[in-house]
Amino acid sequence: MGRWVTEQPLAVEPLLRELEDFGSGALVVFYGVVRNENEGRPVQGMTYEAHVPLAEQALAAIEREAVERFGVRGCRIQHRIGRLALGEASVIIVVSAGHREEAYQASRYAIDEVKRRAPIWKEEHYVTGDSRYLDGVPLVRTSDTSEE
C-alpha cells in the first residue's frame, strides 16, 4: 500500500498539509462516500479491490494531468480498498489552486478520470445479505476487441 491506494481510513488533513501553499486561494475537497442504497436496493457496505501497482500509477498520472491541464497548484488523490461501512470515504481528492474556477474544474476532471481509468472494483453488499460487483467502464486498452 502506498501514497495513492491504502487499506487505512482516509484522512484529509495530511493531504491538506502536503498541498499547503500561501499562493493558493482555493482548496476544493471531494469525498466519495459509501451510500445506503443503489438502484433502489438498500446497501449495507462496500468492498473495494484494486490492482494496486497499476492503480497507483493511474492515480499519480491523473494528479499530474489535473495540474497540467487546469493550471492548478496541486492535486492529491487517495483511494481506499477493503471493506467499508456506510458513510466511510472511498476516495478523497484535494485540489489547490489560485482561484476557485480551475480548482472545481480540476477536481471534477480528477474524479471522472478515477472512475474511468483506475483499476479498482467495487462489490456492493446489500442489507439482504447478498452482494454484487458493479458494472464498470472497460479500461481503454482492452485485451482484444477485434474478436467481437
Partner 1 sequence: MRLTVVYYGGLKQDVGAKRETLDLPHATLTVRELSELLRERHPALASRLHTVAVAVNDALVESDYVLQDGDEASLLPPVSGG
Binding-site member from 2, 25, 53, 71 for partner 1 (CB under 8 A) = 53
Q: Tell me which of 79, 94, 95, 103 binds partner 1, using CB under 8 A.
A: 79
Residue 49: count other Cβ atoms within 10 Å of its Cβ: 14
Q: Is the dihedral of CA 94, 110, 84, 86 positive or negative?
A: positive
Choice from 27, 34, 55, 72 touching partner 1 (CB under 8 A): 55
- Exactly one of 48, 74, 92, 102 binds partner 1 (CB under 8 A); which one? 48
Contacts for 51 with CB less than 8 Å, ≥ 6 apart = 119, 120
Residue type, 17: R
- Judged by beta carbon, residue 83 or residue 122, the one nearer partner 1 is 122
Region for residue 9 given its phi and psi (left: phi exceeds 0; alpha: psi -120 to 50; beta: otherwise): beta
- Interface residue list for partner 1 (CB under 8 A): 32, 48-51, 53-55, 57, 79, 90-91, 111, 114-123, 133-139, 141-148
